[in-house]
Amino acid sequence: MSLDKQAAAFTRLVQAQSGLAGQRRTVAAPQPTLPVTAPQTTLKRKKIVDRSKPAPTPIIYSQPTDTSLMGQHILTQVHHVVQFLKSRETPQTMQQIASYLAINMTPSLLEILKRNERITYDAAANTFEFKPIHNIRSAQALLAFLQQQTTAQGLSVKELKDGWSGAIDTIADLEERSEILVTRTKKDNQPRMVWTNDRTLDVEVEEEFRNIWHKVVIPLPAELPGELERAGLKPTSVDPATVKKDVKAAQKGRKRAVNRRVKVSNTHMSGILKDSKDLKSGGWKK
């Protein structure tokens, strides 16, 4: 092989090796890439409302959903029955009671109502009626009751109002006609006690005596205690605790008795010695 051919072959070999090295440098191992994480975001789920269904009716808590007395204790039902009969003031049937109070008249409830001391049960009419303290519900019944009293104790208006809603109006009417006597409270002027007005006790006073009575001059309230004291009388308005007493003068005028007790020890000479208490300036008392 000629020298020129060897040189050309060597040159091609060198170029081939240099090109292979360049490819190796360019095709290097890929660098590891870090995973890129997307920013975390909180997704809110929207409530899906079913428009096809009707909206529920709101509950009003200011009123009970059930106004009947079915779920209450039997004694509570009895109390409501008594108050209902008291407000009616007339006999009521079982149906009227059950309808008004929205309860079922059970056998146990009926038995308790029949034996209740504030209820009158009419077995013939099968009705219930409130039993007041005094069976008075009219002006005639009130006058008859007062006239039958053997004492002057009177009748309490509070007891009259128990089962009689028209007691106050009837008392005012009878008082205006002077058929009863009434005492009233100072706070609100409400009737408190009533008595019958016995007309036989009315006394006709002569005109002369009435004139003498009205001529008597009564002192003013501020001058009345002084007038009574000048007359030798003690005013009832004076508080005894405010009256000052002269304690020193009372103690000075009172003398305390001196009790001298002498113990005799020489009893064996009782016939010889004399008691010295009888000795005075004038000598022995004989």
Measured between alpha carbons, how far apart are the two ends of the chain, in Å? 206
CB count in 10 Å sphere of residue 196 = 20
Same domain, 161 and 86: no
The arithmetic mean of pLDDT across residues 149-154, rounded, is 86
Give me the half-sphere count of Cα atoms (radius 13 Å) on the Cβ side of residue 26. Answer: 6
Residue 208 located in a structural domain: yes
Catalogue the long-range contacts made by 62-68 (C-beta closer than 8 Å, 24 or more residues apart). Answer: 67/102, 68/101, 68/102, 68/103
Same domain, 154 and 223: yes
Residue 112 located in a structural domain: yes
Residue 115 located in a structural domain: yes
Residue 221 located in a structural domain: yes
pLDDT tens digit sequence for 188-244: 889 999 999 988 888 888 999 999 999 988 888 888 888 888 888 887 766 655 555
Same domain, 126 and 177: no
Same domain, 126 and 138: no
pLDDT tens digit sequence for 97-151: 888 888 788 888 888 888 888 888 998 888 999 888 888 889 999 999 999 888 8
Residue 199 located in a structural domain: yes
Residue 260 located in a structural domain: no
Number of domains in the chain: 2
Same domain, 111 and 141: no
pLDDT tens digit sequence for 160-188: 988 788 889 999 999 999 899 999 998 88
3-state SS assignment for residue 283: strand
pLDDT for res 149:
87
List, in sequence order, every residue forming a beta bridge with 122; answer none if it has no partner.
Answer: 127
pLDDT for res 238:
61
Choose one of 196, 211, 230: the last residue of a domain: 230
If one compares 8 and 232, the residue with the highest pLDDT of the two is: 232
pLDDT for res 54:
65
Same domain, 156 and 186: yes
Rounded CA separation 175/172 (Å): 5
pLDDT for res 66:
41
Detail the DSSP E strand segments found in the chain. Answer: 92-93, 119-122, 127-130, 155-156, 180-184, 191-196, 279-280, 283-284
Same domain, 225 and 138: yes
CATH number at residue 221: 1.10.10
pLDDT tens digit sequence for 42-81: 555 655 656 666 666 665 544 444 444 554 578 888 888 8
CATH number at residue 82: 1.10.10.10
The whole model's pTM is what?
0.46
Domain span at 110 = 69-130
Choose one of 230, 254, 275: the last residue of a domain: 230
Residue 121 located in a structural domain: yes
Tell me how far the alpha carbon of residue 74 is from its chain's centroid.
Answer: 25
Nearest to 119 by CA among 145, 95, 91, 96: 91
Same domain, 121 and 184: no
